[in-house]
C-alpha cells in the first residue's frame, strides 16, 4: 500500500497560504492594505472566523499588521521580530539542565566571530568606538550593575561593525537571555577579569 492519509487543510490555512504566496511574489508589498474582512470573505468564499484566523497566522509570521478598526497592512518581518518569536522557547531551554552552558558556548562562539570580523573589517571610526566603549567599561569596574551594562554595550559595538542587522539582533538576544545568569556569576573581582579579556 503506497497511499497515505492526507489531512485536508482548514479554510483559514488555505486563505493564509494564498495571501502569503501573494506577498512572497510581490503582488502585495510592504505597506499595502489588504481588502476589508468583508471583501476577503467574498473573494475567498469563507466566513469571518476563517479570515480572522488567517490574518492572525500571517501576523504571527510578521507578514501583516492587524489593528482593531483598520484593514490589515502588509509588513516585512525584521530580525528583531524573528528573535522575539524565539525568546520564549529560548528562555525555556536555558532553564533546562545544561541550558546555560549551551547558550554560554553559543555566545562565546558568536563573539569570537564578531571579534574576528572586527579585526579584519573595522574602520578607524569603528576602532575609536571600540576604544570608547572599552574605556567606559573600565570606568565601571567596581560597580557590577554598571559594568554589566557597559560590557553588553562593548559587545554591541562589535556586533554593529558587521553591518548586519541579524548579527546585532542575535547579540542583543543572547545578552538578554543570559542576563540573569550573568548577574549571578559576575562576582566581585570578576568584572576586572572580564575587562582585561576585552583588551
Segment 78-102 shows an average pLDDT of 91
Q: CA 166, CA 175: separation in Å to the nearest integer?
A: 14
Q: Is the pTM of this model over 0.75?
A: no
What are the structural domains of the chain? 11-74 (1.10.10.10), 79-198 (1.20.120)
Please write the tens of the pLDDT for every residue from 92-121: 999 999 998 999 999 999 999 999 999 999
Amino acid at each position: 500500500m503506497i497511499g497515505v492519509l492526507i489531512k485536508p487543510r482548514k479554510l483559514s490555512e488555505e486563505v493564509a497560504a494564498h495571501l502569503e504566496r501573494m506577498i512572497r511574489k510581490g503582488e502585495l508589498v510592504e505597506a499595502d492594505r489588504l481588502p476589508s474582512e468583508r471583501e476577503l470573505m467574498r473573494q475567498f468564499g469563507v466566513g469571518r472566523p476563517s479570515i480572522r484566523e488567517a490574518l492572525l497566522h500571517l501576523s504571527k509570521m510578521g507578514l501583516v499588521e492587524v489593528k482593531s478598526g483598520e484593514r490589515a497592512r502588509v509588513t516585512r518581518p525584521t530580525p528583531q521580530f524573528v528573535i522575539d518569536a524565539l525568546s520564549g522557547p529560548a528562555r525555556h531551554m536555558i532553564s533546562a539542565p545544561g541550558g546555560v552552558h549551551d547558550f554560554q558556548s553559543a555566545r562565546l562562539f558568536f563573539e569570537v566571530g564578531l571579534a574576528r570580523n572586527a579585526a579584519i573589517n573595522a574602520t578607524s571610526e569603528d576602532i575609536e568606538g571600540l576604544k570608547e566603549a572599552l574605556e567606559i567599561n573600565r570606568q565601571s569596574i567596581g560597580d557590577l550593575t554598571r559594568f554589566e551594562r557597559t560590557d553588553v554595550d562593548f559587545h554591541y559595538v562589535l556586533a554593529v561593525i558587521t553591518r548586519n542587522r541579524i548579527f546585532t539582533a542575535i547579540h542583543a538576544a543572547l545578552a538578554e537571555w543570559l542576563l540573569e545568569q550573568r548577574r549571578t556569576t559576575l562576582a566581585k573581582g570578576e568584572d576586572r577579569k572580564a575587562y582585561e579579556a576585552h583588551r
